[in-house]
Structure 1
Amino acid sequence: MSRVFLAADIGGTHARLALVEPRGGDRIAVVHRSQGLCAAHGSLAQVVSALLPQASRVEAAAIAVAGVVQGGRVISRNLPWPVDADGLRALGIPRVAVVNDFVAAAHAVQCMEAADTTLLTPRAGAAADGPVLVVGPGTGLGAALRVPVAGGVAVLPCEPQQMSFAPGNARELALLRQWMEAGTGHVGIGHAVSGPGLLCLYRGLCALDGVAPVLGSPLDVAAAADGNGDAHAAEAVSRFCGLFGSLVGDLAMATGASAVFVIGGVAASLKRRLLESDFAARLVDKDLMCPVLERIPVRLVEDPDVGVIGAACWYLQQAARAQGA
């Protein structure tokens, strides 16, 4: 049997596929990679056929998806189509396993080495032993907790996207009031801290000031914040970073995390802004817990392969357990 297999990271916007090969220990080598837009295809099988047709010759596939995985069912509002493992089997891949994308990422230890990441909390020291939180805004907002247990680690998925939006100042309180009065019902933190959330922040801030919004996408907002001096775009990015910092601090306290890794293209694209904003200050602004949170290193992972490598590591771990059983 070939050692090469398919690993995929299927987000709400992008699909990243790779042929991968185990290289001993926790190391995974990416043999070939491809990526594209999920919405450009009608199903997961079509994505694989179009982006990585040679994958039909492998015997196994590990698919990381943005959503809650319950058995063979995926619950997600961000994916453009249902995840259908049978469709991949119909391509000729006999073994298909599906896992939450952040659970997968939490297995990608080789992507989280200090030398390959950027420290977002400059006052933090080295990570202590204990749980490790992986979190990131994308089309949605995901997280997972990596917990040391006897004989290895356990990874627990989290869904912070639906946690309540918690204003940190009067301006953010006005945004919350505006969204609630608009009849949206529950306002989750993902309404602001996600790719689409950045656009929601921009539009909300424009509405508060009685200004017609002129930007139509999160990418436009991020570019305008840096490029043309758009004050509302700049404020939206600043608010995004601050709210994200508050959320990371909340999650670190709730989970007892000893270290945090931030992943995803949205955070990577805002790297400079995260470093220059009040992200770190709001992360530790938790009353008596401030000295505790100041010691927790928060690192930005910019490796675009973190999802596929994590899916591959997770799959190999599951296969080893099944073989042992």
Structure 2
Amino acid sequence: MARTLDTDKPAFPILIGDIGGTNARFWILTDAFAEPMQFPNIRTADFPTIEEAIQKDVLDKTSMKPRSAILAIAGPIEGDEIPLTNCDWVVRPKILIGDLGFGDVLVINDFEAQALAVATLPEEARETVGTVSSAPLASRVVLGPGTGLGVAGLVHARDMWFPVPGEGGHVDLGPRTARDAAVFPHIERIEGRVSAEQILCGRGLVNLYRAVCAADGVAPVLSVPADITAHGLSGENAQAAETLVLFVTYLGRVAGDMALVMMAKGGVYLAGGISQKIVPALKRPEFRAAFEDKAPHTALMRHIPTFVVTHPQAALAGLASFARTPGHFGISTDGRRWRG
């Protein structure tokens, strides 16, 4: 039977980390009640290994010596060497134990941590998109366009929350409208297919913008995701503006698909920095229209709430909730926990 941490808790102090393709963020929890010690964000490209990053930017900057580590990483967890999907770091728990002195290392998926956050964050840490603002105690989904596209589910049963990690960002995404059909031939493919992540992430935003420009027969003048969203929101560049409309439309389609898969009556939560930056675009009609356009279940979809998670460190907050009260969550540690 899968073992959960409520029967064998990690020892405080605990290092918790949210490690994405671009940035890594760390807190230290000294005990179950104190506020966390927070450290500046780390750019993964600035360090060759996660061990060096933790040593130089965390452990060397405090006299507090963590006894345990709980890390959320962007990628599937298999074996003793765990590569991240969108950066060169490889997480090696046995090396963390041997070189950095941890006695206990648990590694979970980064969107599992986002799901933990969705289970515990207060209402003021989210912004409603659409007209439905209440979130019943029912299954939920979290999506996050960032360096990649993360997806996780969250199931409530037996008075516990069970996060369901996956790789939903790699589902197929295809054209539906005549404009889609004009744009999609110019989308960069991976082995012949367009996955959701090819469009719904930072590099995907650039990919989509270039495709819109190609469909219009104009040369692209923007190359940075932040510039495309800024010009799209302001309307200063016609192709950037359409890119943002298509981006939120496609995000709505995928979010609606995931809501149907999980029957997520408790809501769909959009996490990550991109979602927070494009809230005005998400509140326009296109996102909810695409989200609800799921015949024969359109009426059902109208009652499922959608939110943007506005907490700046949501994944770490979710990990902290789990570390403090692991008995509230059903997380299997099999194959994901190493001890010294």
Q: Name which of 262, 281, 293 aligns with 2:289.
A: 281
Q: Name which of 284, 307, 315 aligns with 1:307.
A: 315
- Shift of the 215–109 alpha-carbon distance from structure 1 to 2, 3 Å rule, reads closer
User: Which residue of structure 1 aligns with residue 244 of structure 2?
Assistant: 237
Q: Equivalences for 1:290-301 in 2 at 5 Å?
A: 290-301=298-309
Q: Name which of 12, 17, 26 aligns with 2:21.
A: 12
1:16–1:36 contact (8 Å) kept in structure 2: yes
- Shift of the 95–2 alpha-carbon distance from structure 1 to 2, 3 Å rule, reads closer
Q: Which runs of 5+ in 2 are unaligned?
A: 1-9, 332-340
Which stretch has the larger CA shift, 154-163 or 311-320?
A: 311-320
C-alpha displacement of 1:3:
3.4
C-alpha displacement of 1:261:
1.4
User: Which residue of structure 2 aligns with residue 141 of structure 1?
Assistant: 149
Aligned length: 317
Which stretch has the larger CA shift, 289-298 or 52-61?
A: 52-61
Counterpart AA for 2:27: A
Normalised to the residue count of structure 1, the TM-score between the two structures is 0.89
Normalised to the residue count of structure 2, the TM-score between the two structures is 0.85
Q: Equivalences for 1:1-325 in 2 at 5 Å?
A: 3-21=12-30, 23=32, 29-53=35-59, 54=61, 57-89=65-97, 90-109=99-118, 112-122=121-131, 124=132, 126-179=134-187, 184-227=191-234, 229-258=236-265, 259-315=267-323
- Shift of the 73–151 alpha-carbon distance from structure 1 to 2, 3 Å rule, reads farther
C-alpha displacement of 1:210:
1.6
C-alpha displacement of 1:176:
2.3
1:20–1:32 contact (8 Å) kept in structure 2: no
* Greater relative CO (CA pairs within 8 A, separation 6+): 2
After TM superposition, the runs of 4+ consecutive aligned structure 1 residues lying more than 4 A away are 21-24, 315-322
CA–CA distance in structure 1, aligned partners of residues 190 and 121 of structure 2: 41
Q: Which runs of 5+ in 1 are unaligned?
A: none
Which stretch has the larger CA shift, 35-44 or 67-76?
A: 67-76
Deviations 1:147-193 (A, max 9, x none): 1222522211121221101323222222223337x775111011111
Deviations 1:64-97 (A, max 9, x none): 1011112544354312221222332212222221
C-alpha displacement of 1:59:
0.6
- Shift of the 110–283 alpha-carbon distance from structure 1 to 2, 3 Å rule, reads closer
